[in-house]
Amino acid sequence: MTFYLSGFRSFPKLWKSNLYFELGPATSSASFFLTVHCVIGNQQRWFSVKPTAPPNSKTLNLLVTKARTHKKGNDNNMKVSSGPHYFAAGAAKKRSHISGHPQNQGHALPVRSTVQLPTKPLNSEEWEKLKEDFKGKASFEDFVISQMAGNSSSIDVAKSLLAWVAAKNNGIVGYNLLVKYLYLCVFHKQTSEVIDVYEIMKAKYKTLESGGYTLLIRGLIHSDRWREALLLLEDIKKNMVPSKKNYGDCIQGALLHQDVNMAWSLYQELLGCNLIPPLETLKAFFDYGKDINDDHYSNQLLDILLYLRNNQLYPGESFAHSIKTWFESIPGRQWKGQFTTIQKSGQCSGCGRTIESIHLSPEEYEFLKEKIMRDVIDGGDQYKKTTPQELKRFESFVNTCPPFDIVIDGLNVAKMFPKGRESQNLLAIVSQLAQQNLQLLVLGRKHMLRPSFQWRKDEMEQVRKQAHCFFADNISEDDPFLLYATLNSGNHCKFITKDLLRDHKACLPDARTKRLFFKWQQGHQLAIMKGFQKSKLTFQHILSYDTVVQTTGDSWHIPYDEDLVQRASCEVPTKWLCLQRKTQAPAPC
Amino acid sequence: MNVTIRFLRPFARCLVPYTFHRKRSNLYSGVLQRCMSSKIPSLSCHNKDSTSPPEQLELDGWKATMKSSIQEDGVSEVSDKDEDSLTATRELIEMWRLLGKEVPEHITEEELKTLMECASKSAKKKYLRYLYGKEKMKKAKQIKKEMKAEAREEAKRARLLETTTGEQQDFMFLRLWDRQANIALGWKGIQAMQFGQPLVFDMAYDNYMKPSELQNTVSQLLESEGWNRRNVDPFHIYFCNLKIDSAYHRELVKRYREKWDKLLLTATEKSPVDLFPKDSIIYLTADSPNVMTTFKHDKVYIIGSFVDKATQTGMSLAKAKRLNLATECLPLDKYLQWEVGNKNLTLDQMIRILLCLKNTGNWEEALKFVPRRKHTGYLEVSEHSQEAFRKLKKTKTLSSFQKGSLNARKWKR
């Protein structure tokens, strides 16, 4: 009986930052009642009365700081140079820990319930008595069944509640109670009970709403009457596009009952609605594929893998296992799969093959360059990020200079080490890079030229001697110029900034361009390691290979997400599934 | 008989739709019949013996009664497809309502059509929640109105009992205060039209707003105009870039009705740069790097009439840049300890702040109109230590920031 709560203004600050709402399988209406209930409760009393109440804030603070220092220590022990690359799964979380913002320390808040939920069926008197004890805004029956749904009580208890309600109301049970009861039945996989409720609903209501349909579909696919789930899917379509879960359930039902054609046609329909299929559904196709030996079917499975590739989706750990098992089950081809990692050089540790390069193809490169110019810098209104005069000045500047090797985001780099003077930081980095005979471009704003405490004139002079410089207006954005200058210089050119450039990525029009941008960014962004200043300049290493599902005909390399690692959307998985064929049989595709 | 009442209620609204097609009426009477038939006295409701131990509880009895309410079909075939989807949506809403979701009880044909035009599921839900809120508000207002009317009746009766003798009383004025006040405000407005300081609302943002945002903007404009009218020394308001027959214009005319042509302000299709010398214009925008220090009585301030819920940052700054105008923002950070929320203020808050500045020049007085939820209090900054304070703030924010150690900051309340 633990819920994670958030969004309550009234809670002490302490809780605010790191709580998240997770109701698990409970329905949305269950959460509604939960909030109502907590709002009623007197907070002060709530904290003192509850025996399992959290410790007072002082000790809790202590705990938090303890955890933080502990984490910090761990990170410090780790060698930085061997650390994960900038976009590796879990890297952002680690960074946030280092910078002292512990996230995801979920505190379980016990929810006070005025009613002790029964564990065995009660009779009418007992329910009546329980109702008398109940104080709250919501109706008693609703509240109790919501709690039951949240705690996944046994369905006998719920049934006794419904029987009591029906007895009170001359045999009528409200729709909301029925739906939550259905939820419990589905949760406990009581198929016969689901069918009973289905009959009742069919008799009583002409149409249902999406929540009821979803539950019915999920319940019915396991029974012999699974085809009726498809009819329910049609009913949903009358009003809205079914969710991907609805399709996923129906597909799983079809696979469960060996109707492969139906499953594939539903899958096509799902893709046609521009929905992203749930990974469990795709996994189900692979799991089912083990038992059948059919070229058509296996081609379709390979299509799924290509879909993953094109949409930059990564399977989960168990899905990866399913893929491996399926490949190994193909008779006569002798696929061999292993879980591995990729070396820095871009070679698979398992088979030694080189993974696809991170670099964009020339067409993709031109496409991205044009999109960046049009959507990020111009964006329909040149005055938003810069001015036309400045844009012209920048373009002519870029065209007169030789192609650069490295483009530096001056302000970002200068502010990286708060202890040093900003111009000093910039100069240190520029001179270190200049020693390597690189063509440098430093982008900045005009205020950097005005001598001040942070910006010394002589140091800026030295920077200008060692690198090409472009200073934008103080109210212009410098990042778009950074992107364009890098793209314009060619594929070898890299840029230095710690910025993840997410806001600029968001300016791009469609998902495909965003993926291209991300790929390019992974291959061309240099991020400076912390703690440099005195020592030599070190960068986070750049990935030389692209993390995407890929094939060479007789081998597949599939990156996957580990179950225990949380990956941010701007990161890529580090673990791979390497599949290769032993014998040289004709390629399957 | 209470069974029927309870069960009829959800369907009661079917009896009062705005347009009543014959087909649907048929359908609903069918539904109604079905409901009526469901009150067949149940067998299972009395089999719950109070003395029976819990193990022998009859748990499945209710199902029989529920199932026994057999659907009476035959009337529900609807030929028209459009009609069909409309009723389907209606039924969906009804089911959602039974589930306790936030959907309206009554919905009109137009609202249904708007609902079906919503692109996504979440848009539909959002629109339904909006309608639900609207309906709830309307109902509450209605109840309040009735209660007030009742109280008035009561008071009237009481007064009738008390005042039996019609005494002659001497008054200096007739009770025509509202009208007098309006006339006085009108005179002041005319004076402002002749000699008042211009204040421009730039209406060139209608392309960037959704209909709902546009409506909010117009509401805010109405309120701003009201605040200005009631002030001792009103601005001369300009609505610039207001295209005739644009969505803006239509909405304004719809709200003001016949008053629109009698408003004491200047509405023009021209841009402010055509009306005023460029160097006297100051564009007010929260994105501006320049902070407003004093209110200047010889400048023309421009406020962009733009409600931006899609967070398209830098729109008005881009506009000012294009026209090469000076920009300023309110010194909110200098005077207030900002807590939450956007630095963008509503139009009526802006005009109240400007009016207050114009009349008193006191920033603290003027920034009273910033919503209290957005800041925790005023910063007390004495004039001579301002520079020192700024330096202190800079160094303090760089090093580890501790609230208690910051002596320069004091809370006023």
Distance from the Cα of residue A454 to its chain's centroid: 39
Which residues of chain B carry a pLDDT beneath 70?
1-59, 65-82, 163-167, 381-413
Question: Are B315 and A175 in contact (CB < 8 Å)?
Answer: no
Of B110 and A78, the one with more pLDDT: B110
| Residue B45, min C-alpha distance to chain A (Å) | 4
B-chain residue closest to A128, CA distance: B50
CA–CA gap between residue B301 and residue B304 (Å, rounded): 10
Q: Are B318 and A381 in contact (CB under 8 A)?
A: yes
Identify which of A239, A240, A234, A299 has the alpha carbon closest to the alpha carbon of residue A275. A240
Residue in B58, B69, B317 nearest the CB of A204: B69
Residue in B66, B76, B92 nearest the CB of A171: B66
Split at pLDDT 50, 70, 90, the class of A93 is confident
B-chain residue closest to A158, CA distance: B59
Give residue-wise pLDDT tens across range A190-204.
898 899 889 888 888
Q: Identity (one letter) of the amino acid at A288? A: Y
Percentage of chain B modeled with pLDDT above 70: 72
Give residue-wise pLDDT tens across range A297-321.
999 999 999 999 998 899 999 999 9
Give residue-wise pLDDT tens across range A211-268.
899 999 999 999 999 999 999 999 888 888 899 999 999 999 999 999 999 999 999 9
CA–CA gap between residue A49 and residue A56 (Å, rounded): 13
Identify which of B63, B316, B40 has the alpha carbon closest to the alpha carbon of residue B200. B316
| Residue A203, min C-alpha distance to chain B (Å) | 6
Give residue-wise pLDDT tens across range A484-527.
999 999 999 999 998 888 889 888 888 889 989 999 998 899 88
Q: Are A180 and A145 in contact (CB under 8 A)?
A: yes
Q: Confirm or reject contact between B35 and chain A (CB < 8 A).
A: no
Question: Are A203 and B121 in contact (CB < 8 Å)?
Answer: no
Residue numbers in B near A165 (CB within 8 A)? 62
Distance from the Cα of residue A278 to its chain's centroid: 13
Q: Are A408 and A442 in contact (CB under 8 A)?
A: yes
CA–CA gap between residue B351 and residue B108 (Å, rounded): 38
Question: Are B100 and A170 in contact (CB < 8 Å)?
Answer: no
Of A476 and B11, the one with more pLDDT: A476
Please list the alpha-helical segments (H only) found in A278-421: 279-289, 295-310, 317-329, 362-371, 382-385, 388-400, 410-414
CA–CA gap between residue A230 and residue A254 (Å, rounded): 9
Residue numbers in A near B3 (CB within 8 A)? 169-170, 172
CA–CA gap between residue A434 and residue A468 (Å, rounded): 11
In three-state secondary structure terms, A337 is strand
Strand stretches in B86-228, DSSP E: 198-202
| Residue A160, min C-alpha distance to chain B (Å) | 6
**How large is the average pLDDT for residues A444-462?**
91
Note the pLDDT of residue A498. 87
Which strands sit side by side in the sheet containing B236-240, from one edge to the other? B266-267, B236-240, B198-202, B300-304, B281-284, B326-328
Largest CA distance in chain B: 93
Q: At what angle do helices A362-371 and A511-524 cross, to 10 degrees?
A: 110
CA–CA gap between residue B348 and residue B345 (Å, rounded): 8
- Could you give phi then psi for residue B32, rounded to 5 degrees? -60, -45
B-chain residue closest to A273, CA distance: B120
Q: Confirm or reject contact between B74 and chain A (CB < 8 A).
A: no
**Number of inter-chain CB pairs under 8 A, A vs B:** 140
Q: Are A198 and A164 in contact (CB under 8 A)?
A: no
Which phi-psi region, left, alpha or beta, contains residue A429 (left: φ > 0; alpha: ψ -120 to 50)?
A: alpha
Question: Are B85 and A171 in contact (CB < 8 Å)?
Answer: no
Split at pLDDT 50, 70, 90, the class of A95 is confident
CA–CA gap between residue B242 and residue A547 (Å, rounded): 53
**How large is the average pLDDT for residues A523-543?**
75
CA–CA gap between residue B139 and residue A556 (Å, rounded): 64
Q: Is the pLDDT of residue A55 over 70?
A: no
Q: Is the pLDDT of residue A76 over 80?
A: no
Q: Confirm or reject contact between B91 and chain A (CB < 8 A).
A: yes
In three-state secondary structure terms, A562 is coil
| Residue B255, min C-alpha distance to chain A (Å) | 32
DSSP-derived pairing of the beta strands A109-110 and A2-3: antiparallel
Question: Are B60 and A159 in contact (CB < 8 Å)?
Answer: yes
H or E stretch at A454: none
Q: Kindly provide the b/e burial profile for residues B184-216, where b requires at least 16 CB atoms within 10 angstroms of the residue's own CB.
A: ebeebbeebeeebbbbbbbbbbbeebeeebbbb
Residue numbers in B near A145 (CB within 8 A)? none
A-chain residue closest to B55, CA distance: A121
B241-244 long-range Cβ contacts below 8 angstroms, 24+ apart:
B241/B202, B241/B203, B241/B204, B241/B269, B241/B270, B241/B271, B241/B272, B242/B203, B242/B267, B242/B268, B242/B269, B243/B203, B243/B206, B243/B269, B244/B269
Most A CBs within 10 A among B1, B43, B62, hence the mutation to make, goes to B62
Q: Can you read off the two tokens belonging to residue A248? A: 């996923």
In three-state secondary structure terms, A450 is coil
Rg for chain B, CA atoms, rounded: 31
Question: Are B98 and A207 in contact (CB < 8 Å)?
Answer: no
Question: Are A176 and B88 in contact (CB < 8 Å)?
Answer: no
Q: Confirm or reject contact between B390 and chain A (CB < 8 A).
A: no
Q: Which residues face B239 on adjacent strands? A: B201, B267
Q: Can you read off the two tokens belonging to residue B34? A: 């079905």
Burial of A375 (0-12, 13-18, 19+ CB in 10 A): middle
Q: Identity (one letter) of the amino acid at B98? A: L
Residue numbers in A near B92 (CB within 8 A)? 207, 209-210, 239
Which phi-psi region, left, alpha or beta, contains residue B307 (left: φ > 0; alpha: ψ -120 to 50)?
A: beta
Question: Are B6 and A173 in contact (CB < 8 Å)?
Answer: no
Q: What share of chain A is helix, strand, coil (3-state, %, to 5)?
A: 50, 10, 40
| Residue B185 CB contacts under 8 Å (≥ 6 apart), including other chains | B229, B230
Residue with tokens 């893998």: A305
CA–CA gap between residue A296 and residue A302 (Å, rounded): 10
Percentage of chain A modeled with pLDDT above 90: 37
Split at pLDDT 50, 70, 90, the class of A22 is very low
**How large is the average pLDDT for residues A111-140?**
78
| Residue A209, min C-alpha distance to chain B (Å) | 5
Q: Are A537 and A515 in contact (CB under 8 A)?
A: no
| Residue A182, min C-alpha distance to chain B (Å) | 13
A-chain residue closest to B84, CA distance: A238
Note the pLDDT of residue A309. 92
CA–CA gap between residue B226 and residue B295 (Å, rounded): 21
Burial of A111 (0-12, 13-18, 19+ CB in 10 A): middle
Task: Out of A50-59, A560-569, B110-119, B167-176, pick the least confident.
Answer: A50-59
B-chain residue closest to A208, CA distance: B95
Identify which of B281, B308, B316, B303 has the alpha carbon closest to the alpha carbon of residue B353. B303
Question: Are B69 and A385 in contact (CB < 8 Å)?
Answer: no
The three state secondary structure string of A170-223 is CCCCCHHHHHHHHHHHHHCCCHHHHHHHHHHHHHHCCCCCHHHHHHHHHHHCCC
The secondary structure of A59-106 as a DSSP string is: HHHHHHHHHHHHHHHHHHHS-STTSPPTTBTTHHHHHHHHTT-----P
CA–CA gap between residue B254 and residue A156 (Å, rounded): 60
A-chain residue closest to B67, CA distance: A200
| Residue A514 CB contacts under 8 Å (≥ 6 apart), including other chains | A505, A508
Q: Can you read off the two tokens belonging to residue B127? A: 């629109």
What is residue B190's DSSP assignment?
H
Note the pLDDT of residue B57. 58
Identify which of B257, B141, B264, B134 has the alpha carbon closest to the alpha carbon of residue B194. B264
What is the residue-averaged pLDDT of chain A? Answer: 80
Give residue-wise pLDDT tens across range B136-188.
999 999 999 999 999 999 999 998 887 666 667 888 888 889 999 999 999 99
Q: Are A509 and A371 in contact (CB under 8 A)?
A: yes
| Residue A418, min C-alpha distance to chain B (Å) | 8
Please count the residues of chain B. Answer: 413
The secondary structure of B69-123 as a DSSP string is: S----SS-----HHHHHHHHHHHHHHHHHHTT-S--S---HHHHHHHHH-SSHHH
Note the pLDDT of residue B237. 95
Question: Are A170 and B42 in contact (CB < 8 Å)?
Answer: yes
| Residue B200, min C-alpha distance to chain A (Å) | 22
